[in-house]
Amino acid sequence: MGRNMEELLLAVEEEMAPSILLSVLLSSEDEEDIEKAGEIYRILRDENKLEVFENRGEEKVDEVECNEEESKVIHLKDELKFALQKNVKLERKLKKLDQRIEELKDKDSMAQIAIKNERKQLKDDKKVLSHDNYSLKNEVGSLTKKVLELSSEKELNLKKLERQMNALKAKDEEIAKLHAQMLKERTENEKALAAKELEVAEARTAGSDEMTFADLLAAEGQIAATIEAAPTKQVESDQKPHELTEEILMKEFDRVTHELGLIYDKKDLYNFHTAMKSSNLVILAGMSGTGKSKLVQAYGKALGLFDNHKMTFIPVRPAWTDDADLIGYADTLQMVYRPGDSGLVNALMSAKENSKKLHIICFDEMNLARVEHYFSQFLSVLENEPGPQRVLQLYNGDLKDNLKNSTQYPPVIPIGDNVIFVGTVNLDDSTYHFSDKVLDRANVITLNVLNFGNLRKVSKEEKGTTILKENRTVSLELFNNYRRMLDRFGPW
């Protein structure tokens, strides 16, 4: 109970209830006090507040009667003030309720707007999804149609490939028969040659028949005529009619050697061609003056490479000690890459840019310096098959962003199957011998020194004319066909 309520009870005891009660009604904010005061007020009103006044005596009765009307007025005023006070409090509560209602209305309005926007967004999403669904259905339909078309096309292609495979198998069988026949004819020719050589040897040992040098040349001519007159058949291959067959290439190779005034054993020509097909490093060995460099030059000319700048001759120097002498180095002072003056790097760059063209790089007098020193990186690279791992490193790749000419000369150069390396070596005391590491990675061919009796003057008629068309070059694709023929039938 509050302080005002305590004053009210004290006032009741001191017979001052009406005034104190009015003060409580007007000043109290505690609803309990107000309700308690109202309850006491009603009790006093019902009892007419006479208990207290009767104890005063007879003299105060008249005063009470006189003031009865006044007390009623005061009582009514008190009730009115009490009602007004309660009305004010109710109005406050009503105002708070109205504010709360307005807040709830605002929240409801915002919620309605959010729901409306969300519905609109959902409708838009539904339209987009419907459109996507329609597009996907159309795409699925077109893809299904395409799958059916591809399936039918696949079946047709499979049938076509099957027919081609059957045709190729038949052609392979025919080629195998022709090859067997050619081997048989070759064996017979070799037997005939051996018989002729035996006859010549017997004639030389027999004292009864005196053969002159002219007779020996005539006998050699008959042997050569027997070989040339032997029937040869051209093996069919995947070559187009207008392309060079390998047989025509070898005839052109032989013709070019005659044109250069050179005479080689035909076995050496065939061995050299076979080595060039089967290896990426070929070494021609022999005594000085046997025409090793000329043979490489003649081979390049027969392929049409010599006149089309697809051949590079690099004379080896005795002072070369490492690969920097051959390929160059990175100048970190001037921040440029300086290629070697051998021309090898430029030749490899040209081969990279013309990957469908055949390139031959010849190291002349290869063993004037130690091959294991200046050619060491190549010996490791040539072990790999053509691909990402078969690259020549010119300099450290970390310097690429710092070197001024790194765009022209990248850190690595790929070495494709269109590059063939060949070297010529002299077998004498002025040069270095090869180690097993070099010999394991190269095809070594030793040129035969022909007998003086086999040297015949080649007339202009024997030289003949070139079989190749002007500016015609054997492509890498055609040379790879020669390589496949080697894989299929073996060496000549």
- The answer to whether residue 190 is domain-embedded is no
- The answer to whether residue 265 is domain-embedded is yes
Which amino acid is present at 213? F
Asked if residue 251 and residue 110 are part of one domain, the reply reads no
- The answer to whether residue 39 is domain-embedded is yes
Range from 41-55, 133-147, 336-350, 437-451 carrying the lowest mean pLDDT: 41-55
Which amino acid is present at 491? P
The set of residues, in sequence order, having a beta carbon less than 8 Å from that of 336 and lying 6+ positions away, is 330, 403, 404, 405
Counted residue by residue, the chain has a size of 492
**pLDDT, tens digit, 9 for 90 and up, residues 326-345:** 999 999 899 999 998 888 99
The domain in which residue 417 lies consists of: 244-489
- The answer to whether residue 119 is domain-embedded is no
What is the value of pTM for the model shown? 0.50
pLDDT band at 380 (very low <50, low <70, confident <90, very high): confident
- The answer to whether residue 56 is domain-embedded is yes
Residue 476 · residue 358 · CB < 8 Å = yes
pLDDT, mean of residues 11-23: 53
Q: Sign of dihedral through CA atoms 342, 346, 350, 355?
A: positive
Range from 107-116, 186-195, 262-271, 333-342 carrying the lowest mean pLDDT: 186-195
pLDDT band at 71 (very low <50, low <70, confident <90, very high): confident
Task: Please report, for the domain that includes residue 414, its CATH number.
Answer: 3.40.50.300
Strand partners, 313: 362
Asked if residue 328 and residue 473 are part of one domain, the reply reads yes
Query: What pLDDT is stored for residue 489 in this prediction?
Result: 45
Asked if residue 109 and residue 251 are part of one domain, the reply reads no
From 82, 114, 146, the end of a domain falls on: 114
Residue 329: φ, ψ to 5°: -155, 170
- The answer to whether residue 141 is domain-embedded is no
Helices in 260-412 by DSSP H: which ranges? 266-278, 292-302, 324-327, 344-353, 371-374, 376-381
Asked if residue 250 and residue 105 are part of one domain, the reply reads no
pLDDT band at 313 (very low <50, low <70, confident <90, very high): very high
Render 279-301 in DSSP notation, one character per residue. -SEEEEEE-TTS-HHHHHHHHHH
- The answer to whether residue 151 is domain-embedded is no
Q: Residue 208 pLDDT more than 50? A: no
Residue 424 · residue 284 · CB < 8 Å = yes
pLDDT, mean of residues 394-410: 90
From 114, 141, 169, the end of a domain falls on: 114
From 75, 97, 114, the end of a domain falls on: 114
The structural domain count of the chain equals 2
Instruction: List the structure tokens of 455.
Output: 């040297």
Asked if residue 429 and residue 287 are part of one domain, the reply reads yes
Q: Residue 217 pLDDT more than 50? A: no
Straight-line distance from the first to the last Cα atom of the chain, in angstroms, rounded to the nearest whole number: 130
pLDDT, mean of residues 188-210: 64
Per-residue b/e over 388-397, b at no fewer than 16 CB within 10 Å? eebebebbee
The set of residues, in sequence order, having a beta carbon less than 8 Å from that of 264 and lying 6+ positions away, is 257, 291, 295, 447, 450
177, 271, 286, 188: which is closest to 229 by C-alpha? 188
Asked if residue 256 and residue 395 are part of one domain, the reply reads yes
**pLDDT, tens digit, 9 for 90 and up, residues 407-450:** 899 999 999 888 999 999 988 777 888 888 888 888 898 887 66
Query: What pLDDT is stored for residue 47 in this prediction?
Result: 56
- The answer to whether residue 161 is domain-embedded is no
pLDDT, mean of residues 139-143: 89
48 or 216, which is more confident: 48
Strand partners, 315: 364
C-alpha–C-alpha distance, residues 196 and 188, integer Å: 12
Residue 320 · residue 374 · CB < 8 Å = yes
